[in-house]
Structure 1
Amino acid sequence: MQFKIKDVAKLAGVSVTTVSRVLNGEKYVKDDLKAKVNRAIDELGYAPSHIARSLVRNKTNLIGVIVPDLTSSFYATILSSIEEVASANDYNLLVCNISENIDKELKYLNVFQEMRVEGIIIMHEKINEPIRALIHRMPIPVIFSSVKPMDQKFISVIVDDYKAAYDATNYLIELGHDAIGFIGGDMRDITSGQNRYIGYRNAMSASGKKLVEAHIRFGDYKVKSGYEQMKLMLGSNNPPTAVFAVSDDMAVGAMNCIRDHHLRVPEDISIMGFDGSQLTELARPTLTSMEQPIHEMGKVTMDVLLKQITGETIPSEDIILEHRVAARESCMNRMKAT
């Protein structure tokens, strides 16, 4: 049997208002009445309805989060940081994994409205017109994290992906590599697809390095595609001496492929990833990566969204965080080796 608040009040011998005040943690309730209410709650096993309380207070303390791929080490890490800040501020997350399916996103955004979420975090940028129209109509704060959509209305918390990819490629060049391969992402993505690819190409061009089309491949940011694209690269004449992959997951896949082909990382081929996820320390050899401040990105995203919810002043432009090269074992300095 599911008991209601009036059942608690009857058993405790108090008014429904007094029970409500105890449940809401209000101070002005006598200790003896509070004790009676708590005993009745324990005896009945009463659990207050979150939905009912939300309707009364017109506040749900829910944050909706759209994640493109929860199997990604990057998204798992940033989500944990977002949850930590949300929990510290008495908010709960309603996380929806769309698996890169934007039709799912439209459905989940409508669910968010029905659940009366107080804010929305979106972690991918492939937004069609129905989705764009919907989030523009919503009277709910929306923020993008780790990506920048073409729509300039919304704030994003990002790194400079072009500059980060340029710097990653340049790092390999400074280690003495001339033939540098590239495993890119989805070119429909401006942030992690186009910007990182252009950064790679421009760094190669600025240093006078030759671009070899057989050394340029595109995957889907996952380990398996990194493996597959590296296999194709190894099948070409004169494979590169270094490869820059635009996700740590694809970089780990590339390393696995190299080992399966009886080659060594980094002695035969150096590998560099992008993100700075937990995979970098778990991989063997440990993975050099262009590191995004993932935990800070999640924290800043949630902090700014909370300010939007409470009507505080927020930045008028995107928040761009610093990237850095996290050097580990997977890249070899060919200058020292010669």
Structure 2
Amino acid sequence: MNPTIKDVANYANVSIATVSRILNSTSAGYSEKTRELVMEAIEQLGYKPNAVARGLKNTRTQTIGVLFPDISGMVSSELLHGIEKVTHNLGHSVIVCNTASQGKKTLDYLKLLSEKRVEGILFASEEIKDEYYEAIKGMNIPAVLVSTKSHKHPLPYVKVDDRDAAYTATSYLIEKGHKNIGMISGIKQDPIAGSPRIEGFQAAMRDQLGNDSPVVVSAQGFSYEHGVEMFEKLIKAAPHTTAIFAASDEMAIGAMASAYHMNIKVPDDISVVGYDNLKISEMAIPPLTTLSQPLREMGEKATELLFEALTDKNSTQSSIIMPHQMIERESVKAMA
């Protein structure tokens, strides 16, 4: 059975009120010797104060909520590393919600976070629908978007420019001498990682090669399995393709696996570029050339923005576009 605040008071031979004042850092009503006795009792008993119960008295729970559409995804994992680093350093806790990109589930989690009285919200990698925004607005707490943005709702965000980044990745392949370039995309209607990356790919093909209708095949997600499926579809539609730009590293590695089973060698027969620069891209065979977005740093910056709003209610927050860069490895062959 976990020790209670009453156990601590009895061990230190002080009142429960005194223990409470010390736990809440109230300066009056006890001596330094008494504080030391209470802290020793806490250590000896292994007492852990209930953060929510303390928050009910302080009107602060020292907790923020984070919503991800897929907590098992590697992108979410990298973002969460950055979020937790800053949150932990500032003495707060994180409640992580896996919305699975479902509207009702997202609203249910927002309601739960409101009941838990979180102090702020980070909303990651998902489109902000009207009902989400109204729910957040009704909570009267700050919110910051990370790896997503809203054209309609005035919420600060931290992300890369996906259209510009896709343009950079496609330009890289063109600079390597490729002309027959296809794209493997996730959900093309997705305004976050779908349509902007397709638009960037198409713009580079149009601007630099005069190709107004490059081949794009779109899946219902951005996973390894979708990459396997879409590679086969793209090769059937455009058998003379010499290079592929994939809208995620997981899709790119799925495409390389599919190529292996079809006896198509990467990069000798076909070059592949990914998007994200996840840890797994270094482990692929061959190691994957990819467009890097600084996911951990994005998580850190978004969390810092959120805490700025928590500490200064009058602060005006600006959104942040993070830099991207090409990471060259071994999955791209230069054409003669």
Residues 8 and 45 in structure 2, CA contact (< 8 A), matched pair in contact too: yes
Most deviating of 43-52 and 284-293: 43-52
Residues 157 and 320 in structure 1, CA contact (< 8 A), matched pair in contact too: yes
Report whether the alignment pairs 1:294 with 2:268: no
2:20 equivalent in structure 1 = 20
SS of alignment partner, residue 209 of structure 2: coil
Q: How does 1:74-85 map to 2 (within 5 A)?
A: 74-85=75-86
1:257 equivalent in structure 2 = 258
Gaps of 5+ in 2: none
Question: Aligned equivalents of 1:292 and 1:308: distance in 2?
Answer: 25
Residues 125 and 149 in structure 1, CA contact (< 8 A), matched pair in contact too: no
How far is the alpha carbon of 1:165 from its aligned partner?
A: 0.8
Q: How does 1:163-312 map to 2 (within 5 A)?
A: 163-210=164-211, 215-219=215-219, 220-311=221-312
How far is the alpha carbon of 1:72 from its aligned partner?
A: 1.8
Most deviating of 157-166 and 127-136: 127-136
Q: How does 1:155-170 map to 2 (within 5 A)?
A: 155-170=156-171
Query: Which residue identity does 2:294 align to in structure 1?
Result: P
Most deviating of 93-102 and 201-210: 201-210
Residues 128 and 149 in structure 2, CA contact (< 8 A), matched pair in contact too: no
Most deviating of 128-137 and 321-330: 128-137
Change in CA separation of 1:318 and 1:275 when aligned onto 2, cut-off 3 Å = same
2:320 equivalent in structure 1 = 319
Residues 187 and 194 in structure 2, CA contact (< 8 A), matched pair in contact too: yes
2:131 equivalent in structure 1 = 130
2:145 equivalent in structure 1 = 144
How far is the alpha carbon of 1:313 from its aligned partner?
A: 6.3
1:75-110 Cα distance to aligned partner (Å, 9 max, x none): 111111111111001111100111222221100000
Residues 179 and 210 in structure 1, CA contact (< 8 A), matched pair in contact too: no
SS of alignment partner, residue 325 of structure 1: strand
Residues 304 and 314 in structure 1, CA contact (< 8 A), matched pair in contact too: no
Alignment root-mean-square deviation, CA: 2.1
Question: Aligned equivalents of 1:199 and 1:237: distance in 2?
Answer: 20
1:93 equivalent in structure 2 = 94
SS of alignment partner, residue 191 of structure 1: coil
Most deviating of 184-193 and 310-319: 310-319
Question: Aligned equivalents of 1:276 and 1:143: distance in 2?
Answer: 23
2:6 equivalent in structure 1 = 6
1:153-186 Cα distance to aligned partner (Å, 9 max, x none): 1011111111111111111011010110101122
SS of alignment partner, residue 274 of structure 2: strand
How far is the alpha carbon of 1:192 from its aligned partner?
A: 1.1
Question: Aligned equivalents of 1:85 and 1:140: distance in 2?
Answer: 19
1:303-322 Cα distance to aligned partner (Å, 9 max, x none): 11100111166554421111
Residues 127 and 150 in structure 2, CA contact (< 8 A), matched pair in contact too: yes
Question: Aligned equivalents of 1:45 and 1:316: distance in 2?
Answer: 41
2:112 equivalent in structure 1 = 111
Question: Aligned equivalents of 1:43 and 1:295: distance in 2?
Answer: 37
Residues 121 and 141 in structure 2, CA contact (< 8 A), matched pair in contact too: yes
How far is the alpha carbon of 1:244 from its aligned partner?
A: 0.4
Residues 218 and 230 in structure 2, CA contact (< 8 A), matched pair in contact too: yes
* Deviant stretches of 4+, over 4 Å: 25-29, 42-45, 312-316
How far is the alpha carbon of 1:286 from its aligned partner?
A: 1.0
Change in CA separation of 1:216 and 1:317 when aligned onto 2, cut-off 3 Å = same
Question: Aligned equivalents of 1:287 and 1:182: distance in 2?
Answer: 16
Residues 179 and 209 in structure 1, CA contact (< 8 A), matched pair in contact too: no
SS of alignment partner, residue 192 of structure 2: helix
Most deviating of 38-47 and 84-93: 38-47
Change in CA separation of 1:128 and 1:152 when aligned onto 2, cut-off 3 Å = closer
Residues 227 and 256 in structure 1, CA contact (< 8 A), matched pair in contact too: yes
Q: How does 1:33-48 map to 2 (within 5 A)?
A: 33-41=34-42, 45-48=46-49
1:196-234 Cα distance to aligned partner (Å, 9 max, x none): 111111110112354666x31112111110111001122
- Report how many aligned residue pairs link the two structures: 334
Residues 121 and 145 in structure 1, CA contact (< 8 A), matched pair in contact too: yes
Change in CA separation of 1:6 and 1:245 when aligned onto 2, cut-off 3 Å = same
